[in-house]
Amino acid sequence: MDTNGFFGNWGGAYIPEVLHQTFQELKEEYARCRKDPEFWQEYLTLMSTYSCRPTPLTHAENLSRHFGGADIYIKREDLNHTGAHKANNVMGQGLLVKRMGKKRVIAETGAGQHGMATATMAAKFGLDCTIYMGEEDVLRQRPNVFWMEKMGATVVPVTDGSQTLKDAINEAFRDWVTNVDDTHYVFGTACGPAPFPEMVSWFQSIIGIEAAEQIVKYHGKMPRRVYACVGGGSNAMGVFKRFLDEDDVELVGVEAGGHGADSGAHAIRLSSPDATPGVAQGYKTMFLQDNDGQMKQTHSVAAGLDYVGVSPILSDLWEQKKVRFESATDDEVMAALDLTMKLEGIIPALESSHAFAGAFKEVGKLSKEDAIIINQSGRGDKDIFTIAHAFEDPSWKKFIIDRGKEYSSN
Amino acid sequence: MQLEQQLQEKLETRDILLMTHIVLGYPSFEVNREVIRQMVNEGVDCIEMQIPFSEPMADGPVILKANQDSLAAGTTVEECFSFGAEMVQKHTIPFLFMTYYNIIFKYGEEAFFKRAAECGIRGFIVPDLPPEMGKTFLELADRYDIAPILIFAPTSTDDRMKQLSGYGRGFIYCVARRGVTGKKSDFDHDFDSYLARCRTATELPLAVGFGIQSKEDIDALKGKADMAVIGSRTIKLVATEGADAVGPFIAGLR
Ligand SMILES: Cc1ncc(COP(=O)(O)O)c(C=O)c1O
């Protein structure tokens, strides 16, 4: 990152003047934390006592045999407390908030996992907490809304625009400019104005640091490829960072193909020609936008990937050809999820299932001598309504109808 | 320098100037036309015309909705330029564009300045472009003589204000409070000391915006600021009572 927050052509901090001073303070505190070895130690202790770090690296023997190519290893961020990699970032920012002495946190959330993690952190650290969530996402991630509220957070459904992640981010910014003195905005992914992309990636880098050590222990050498799904890009940056300078490791980001790359209904920013450079939500990156610069509607079965922009750090790595980007459609994702449940007894989140689908398309062509790592960014339990609906599961449907009847007769 | 000169001349005969804000294409260009006519007739000194953007991060509910409705009705940047040119032709007061940086960036910075200069636009207000991010923008502003309007906020330190003032032309837009457009502001003691800080930091005229809704608000600014900005209030008025309500409302402000 240069002094203005750019990674090559991408990034920056396009913020309203009201936030200037707060960003100065945030940048200074972040720089102090990076220089202070005790901060990282405190972070590691917190993550190993409050959450489940290090998370395991699971050898998926049945999937490996099924595809007959490289050995498949799964990095289990689903076993982190609150069920996703999001906690890595949130707990780190929580420690920062304590140092800065702010009393209130706000966050945007798409899949609800980041909101969940933030509500958890706020409960633990005694902070007030408000979560902004697009109305469409409130409906598709209802279990997470329930838990956030139970932990004392206020969940505000956002009914503007496309009612998804980008609109939740806008609304969180509107809150922040109003309550800047006592509030920290816990940005949920490696996007937004500097220093967020770099800071979030730093906290998430714990994923790759652990995974590199684990794969060498189990497999004897570095993996051939590492796969991660890409929404804003935080789990991808987290698992990729450690491997960036390993010459023989190929990094693959899998974006949300929705109804297909040619359908217009997707969230493919880097692996399709549909996105163009733009500046929105405080940073410069590749955005899905029209010729006038208005953001387009996106679509994905996974709320956490249903987003118009992407980490400026990933745009830079894409431009430098250091990360390859692919996409997986909703249908491919459901099939990959189904197979993983049946063969391994593991339930990846719909977001994470994109990484699985991307890997499944290629793993059979790799040598048996090699290994790949799939980053399972989260668990699928939150998606029970969406998955049950997509599978048209008859017994689940009956259960919902019966429960509905029971509630409406009271 | 044109914009500042125009405003300074007006300030010789008026104790406070009025700037109003409209969102282009909301509810329609036809209504915009009529609203501007009434504003100019009632002596508004300067008008900022917002080119709508799908992600208006610094705007509150009223202007946010106006942006969305305008885009839903199909408003394009091209239409905004031709409408701007038409207004400049028709009226003698200065017109500015307010928009978010992506609209300019996507059009091509230089092409945007060139086109706006041809239309006779006098200044740009871009709330998400701090000077640190606007090196080429500020150079182009000088070259095309379109005033880049810099923004002061209550959270800006004295040093920061001085720095911003160095980049600003035309006038400085002082945001009256923390927050987004639309909500009422308190013009209390804290506010007065903020304005005094603004005054010390710059020689440029001071415009005050965010939450100004009535004659009382404007009277309270006399002697402390040079221009009052009315934004959401008239946009809401047009939405609820129609364009014809604007003239009498403006007439009642001074
Ligand atoms: C489980 C899971 N994976 C992935 C993502 C996508 O975000 P990112 O690209 O920042 O990792 C989300 C976001 O909500 C998520 O909940």
Q: What's the pLDDT tens digit per position in A152-167?
A: 999 999 998 889 999 9
The reported pLDDT for the residue numbered B194 is 96
CB A229 near ligand 1, within 6 Å: yes
User: Quick check: A161 contacting B, CB < 8 Å?
Assistant: yes
Catalytic residue among B45, B48, B217, B226: B48
Res. B11 pLDDT band, cuts 50 70 90: very high
- Please give the average per-residue pLDDT across B200-213, as a whole number: 95
A284 - beta bridge partners? A11, A279
Mean residue pLDDT of chain B comes to 96
Asked if the structure places residue B158 within a domain, the reply is: yes
Give the gap in angstroms from C-alpha A96 to the nearest C-alpha of chain B.
21
What would the two tokens of residue A81 be? 């407390």
- With an 8 Å Cβ cutoff, are B153 and A170 in contact? no
B187: left (phi over 0), alpha (psi -120 to 50) or beta: beta
Q: What's the pLDDT tens digit per position in B24-37?
A: 999 999 999 999 99
Pocket-testing residue among A74, A75, A80, A85, ligand 1, by greatest number of atoms within 8 A of Cβ: A85
Choose among A15, A173, A284: nearest Cβ to B130: A15
- Please give the average per-residue pLDDT across B88-117, as a whole number: 98
Mean residue pLDDT of chain A comes to 96
Q: What's the pLDDT tens digit per position in B142-201?
A: 999 999 999 999 999 999 999 999 999 999 999 998 988 887 778 888 899 999 999 999
User: Quick check: A179 contacting B, CB < 8 Å?
Assistant: yes
> How many domains, chain B?
1
**CA–centroid distance for A239 within its chain:** 11
Q: Which CATH number fits domain A13-48+85-200: 3.40.50.1100, 3.90.650.10, 3.40.50.20, 1.20.1740.10?
A: 3.40.50.1100
- Please give the average per-residue pLDDT across A371-391, as a whole number: 93
The reported pLDDT for the residue numbered B180 is 86
3-state secondary structure of A74: strand
Domain ranges of chain A: 13-48+85-200, 53-83+204-388
Q: What's the pLDDT tens digit per position in A9-25?
A: 999 999 999 999 999 99
The reported pLDDT for the residue numbered B188 is 85
- With an 8 Å Cβ cutoff, are A166 and B55 in contact? yes
* Under 8 Å between Cβ of A63 and A376: no
CA angle A211, A212, A217 (to 5 degrees): 95
* pLDDT above 80: residue B44: yes
Q: Which residue of A14, A23, A156, A162 is the best one to mutate when testing the B interface, meaning the one whose CB has the most B CBs within 10 A? A: A14
Q: Is B106 exposed, middle or buried (0-12, 13-18, 19+ CB in 10 A)?
A: buried
* pLDDT above 90: residue A394: yes
* Fold matches, A13-48+85-200 and A53-83+204-388: yes
- Please give the average per-residue pLDDT across A171-176, as a whole number: 95
CB A376 near ligand 1, within 6 Å: no
The reported pLDDT for the residue numbered A1 is 86
Catalytic residue among B4, B59, B217, B226: B59
User: Which segments of B43-188 does DSSP mark as H helices, in order?
Assistant: 61-72, 77-90, 101-107, 109-119, 135-144, 158-167
* pLDDT above 90: residue A410: no
User: Quick check: A9 contacting B, CB < 8 Å?
Assistant: no
Q: Cα(A51)–Cα(A49) distance, rounded to whole angstroms?
A: 6
Q: Cα(A141)–Cα(A386) distance, rounded to whole angstroms?
A: 8
* pLDDT above 80: residue A240: yes
The reported pLDDT for the residue numbered B112 is 98
The reported pLDDT for the residue numbered B183 is 79
Q: Is A338 exposed, middle or buried (0-12, 13-18, 19+ CB in 10 A)?
A: middle
Q: Cα(B48)–Cα(B137) distance, rounded to whole angstroms?
A: 19
CB A12 near ligand 1, within 6 Å: no
- Please give the average per-residue pLDDT across A120-147, as a whole number: 96
Give the gap in angstroms from C-alpha A49 to the nearest C-alpha of chain B.
38
**Placement of tokens 């922040």 in the chain:** A176
Asked if the structure places residue B128 within a domain, the reply is: yes
Q: What's the pLDDT tens digit per position in A185-196?
A: 999 999 999 999
The reported pLDDT for the residue numbered B189 is 87
Q: Cα(B253)–Cα(B212) distance, rounded to whole angstroms?
A: 11
What residue in A sits closest to B54 (Cα-Cα)? A294
What would the two tokens of residue A342 be? 């049946």
Asked if the structure places residue B254 within a domain, the reply is: no
Choose among B71, B129, B180: nearest Cβ to A14: B129
What residue in A sits closest to B75 (Cα-Cα)? A292
**CB count in 10 Å sphere of residue B242:** 13
Q: Tell me the residue range of the domain where B31 lies.
A: 3-249
User: Quick check: B128 contacting A, CB < 8 Å?
Assistant: yes
The reported pLDDT for the residue numbered A390 is 87
**Placement of tokens 């309203």 in the chain:** A16
* Under 8 Å between Cβ of B142 and B113: no
Q: Cα(B60)–Cα(A326) distance, rounded to whole angstroms?
A: 38
User: Quick check: B162 contacting A, CB < 8 Å?
Assistant: no
The CATH number of residue B27's host domain is 3.20.20.70
The reported pLDDT for the residue numbered B185 is 78
Q: With a CB-CB cutoff of 8 Å, which residues 224-253 of chain A face chain B?
A: none
Q: Which CATH number fits domain A53-83+204-388: 3.30.1240.10, 2.30.110.10, 3.90.870.40, 3.40.50.1100?
A: 3.40.50.1100
Show residues of chain A in contact with B153, CB under 8 Å: 16-18, 20
CA A304–ligand 1 middle distance (angstroms) = 5
- Please give the average per-residue pLDDT across B196-212, as a whole number: 96
Catalytic residue among A108, A332, A344, A351: A108
Lowest mean pLDDT among A162-166, A224-228, B64-68: A162-166
B59 is known as an active-site residue: yes
Catalytic residue among A75, A86, A241, A284: A86
CB under 8 A, 24+ apart: contacts of B35-42: B35/B234, B35/B238, B35/B243, B35/B246, B36/B87, B36/B91, B38/B243, B38/B244, B38/B246, B38/B247, B38/B250, B39/B234, B39/B246, B39/B247, B39/B250, B40/B91, B40/B93, B41/B247, B42/B247, B42/B250, B42/B251
Higher pLDDT, A410 or A30: A30
DSSP state letter for B51: P
Show residues of chain B in contact with A293, CB under 8 Å: 53, 77, 102-103, 105-107
